[in-house]
Structure 1
Amino acid sequence: IRGHWPPGPGKPPRVPAGWVVAPPDFVGIGAQKAGTSWWSALIHAHPDVHRAGDQPKELHFFDGYWEQAFTDADKELYARYFPRPPGGSAGEWTPSYMIDFWTPELLRRAAPQARILVLLRDPLERYRSGMAHTDDMDRRSLGRQDAMGAFGRGLYAQQLRRVLAEFPREQVLILQYERCRADPQGELARTFDFLGLRDVRVDPARFDRPVNPTTARKVELGDELRAALTSAYAPDLAQLATLVPELDLDLWPSTQATSR
């Protein structure tokens, strides 16, 4: 697919005998550095969730469509990445889908019945981890563009409005990383229920197993930068509290001042 960065998903996987192909049952769309690799691995630990071959967690299928038409053939191609046995479930989680403004509409066209998963994290902590991730990936000095990109990924309300313009609210599950860390078994049971999966208990040893950790040291925020970020995030957080009232902003201590 022309224009992909990171590279697109490559060829669709081979379909095992007796398996079926259809659009994904679920798609995780964000947020980057909010624990999505960890949560996706836990979902795929469910015996009824399937992934063919060595298919990655992140397909980045829609990345190149900012500059090219999305056709019926593309819809059919996307479905081919999700073979599963009859009655099984399949999906993916690409955190950039929520930030890329063109993707929610294309995702709705490609998988209108998919259950949408969003995992959010304290935006200042996500900013620190996101900057470290960029440093880890690029091995270069971080600059203004990196800071603006990391900041933009934490504007959750802005991104979610685009998503909710395409998918009904009852089709979107919005989780908090901090709640998942505090009660992984309970939040995972809630996730399984949302996905229409039978209730199973995942081995608790998996909850503390790191998945795709950032190796670079997190960016330290000085007092002035922390205050500037807190102020800059305040309007979006106020909108987020209205948009998703079940979120507990007290779990985000670095931004508590914005929720008062």
Structure 2
Amino acid sequence: MMKVDVFHIGPQKTATTWAYHCLKEHPEVSVPNKDAIHYFDINFPKGEEWLKSKYPPVSQGIYVETTPSYIRSVPALKRIKEYNDNAKIVLCIRSPLERMVSHYWHEKKKGSINYNIEDVLDNYDLFSSWVETSMYGDKVEELYQMFGRERVFVQVYDDLKKDPYAFLRDLYEFIGVDDASFTPASLEKKINKATKKKGGARLLLIKLLKEAGVLDRVINLKNKVAISSGKSSYDTKELLSSLPETLRSQIYDITRRDVEKLSKLIERDMLKEWGYDS
């Protein structure tokens, strides 16, 4: 019976869907017919035949499963370990503040929530989803202990924005497929999105609105219009600019110790890269 070899465990809003499509296009990779099948958390009682049925019938090569909620579920990770003791694990880390804002607006634009982002510190369900999910230190340590450091690949979202080609080549190399001669069409889509520049006039307008204390209301209105019109885009940088400084400071305080631990584990100064000391 087929065995899934590699698991991309998330979290949400770290380009996991993009990674799924880039993996799906690779001729040496087999992925389920859709992203995020949730077998090892929600659908585990359905059994391995159900898991197998989610892959194309003529699948071959490296089997990969991408479900971004797995990083939040200790039972799911234990089940993966029991299912395949030699599994490789991929996760992508993103600034806790940036991921929180992106995750919040992802839910907001779908009309799934009526909360304000400031409610994150008054509601544990929101805090668990938007903040604790971005606290990677303990998770990475547990993954290293469970699967072995050499079988856990931690990617950084900022590297994707800087050089999507290198980011994807590193992912292909880790899972063990051709990383040099194949370029998926999905990569070009990300490059086009990542290299889009803002005009100087727009940046000046953002600055003036922020100084006037109305930027948050303008962005809220902009996103409400996008939601009501069926559009799904939102600008994370603009949303970060409108975030109350008190909330920003509180999130930094809450997550600082975890980022310090993460930095030591992956041997990279994420406090500096994510602006904790700026």
Task: Find the aligned partners of 2:158 and 2:48 in 1 and give their Cα distance.
Answer: 35
**Counterpart of 2:134 in 1: which secondary structure?**
coil
Alignment of 1:118-137 (within 5 A): 118-137=91-110
Q: Which region of structure 1 is more displaced relative to structure 2, 137-146 or 233-242?
A: 137-146
Task: Find the aligned partners of 1:188 and 1:217 in 2 and give their Cα distance.
Answer: 23
**Counterpart of 1:90 in 2: which secondary structure?**
strand
Alignment of 1:194-233 (within 5 A): 194-199=174-179, 200-202=181-183, 203=185, 205-208=188-191, 215=233, 220-233=242-255
Identity across the alignment (%): 22
Task: Between the two structures, name the one with larger relative contact order (CA 8 Å, sep ≥ 6).
Answer: 1
Q: Which region of structure 1 is more displaced relative to structure 2, 25-34 or 238-247?
A: 238-247
Query: Which residue pairs with 2:35 in the alignment?
Result: 57
TM-score scaled by length of structure 2 = 0.72
**Tell me, which stretches of 5 or more residues in structure 2 are unaligned?**
194-230
Report if aligned partners of 1:184, 1:207 keep a CA contact under 8 Å in 2: yes
Task: Find the aligned partners of 1:246 and 1:39 in 2 and give their Cα distance.
Answer: 23
Q: Which of residues 89, 103, 106 in structure 2 aligns to 1:116?
A: 89
> What amino acid sits opposite 1:150 in the alignment?
W
Deviations 1:99-134 (A, max 9, x none): 112111111111222221111111110010111122
Q: CA RMSD in A?
A: 2.7
Over alpha carbons, which structure has the higher Rg? 2
Report if aligned partners of 1:97, 1:103 keep a CA contact under 8 Å in 2: yes
Query: Which residue pairs with 2:64 in the alignment?
Result: 91
Task: Find the aligned partners of 2:67 and 2:126 in 1 and give their Cα distance.
Answer: 19
Aligned CA distance change for structure 1 residues 125 and 109 (closer, same or farther; 3 Å): same
Q: Which has the higher helix share?
A: 2
> What amino acid sits opposite 2:163 in the alignment?
D
Answering whether residue 170 of structure 2 is matched by residue 190 of structure 1, we say: yes
Deviations 1:24-54 (A, max 9, x none): 12110011111111122222222212346xx
**Tell me, which stretches of 5 or more residues in structure 1 are unaligned?**
1-20
Q: Tell me the number of residue pairs that the alignment of Structure 1 and Structure 2 aligns.
A: 227
Q: Which region of structure 1 is more displaced relative to structure 2, 162-171 or 125-134?
A: 162-171
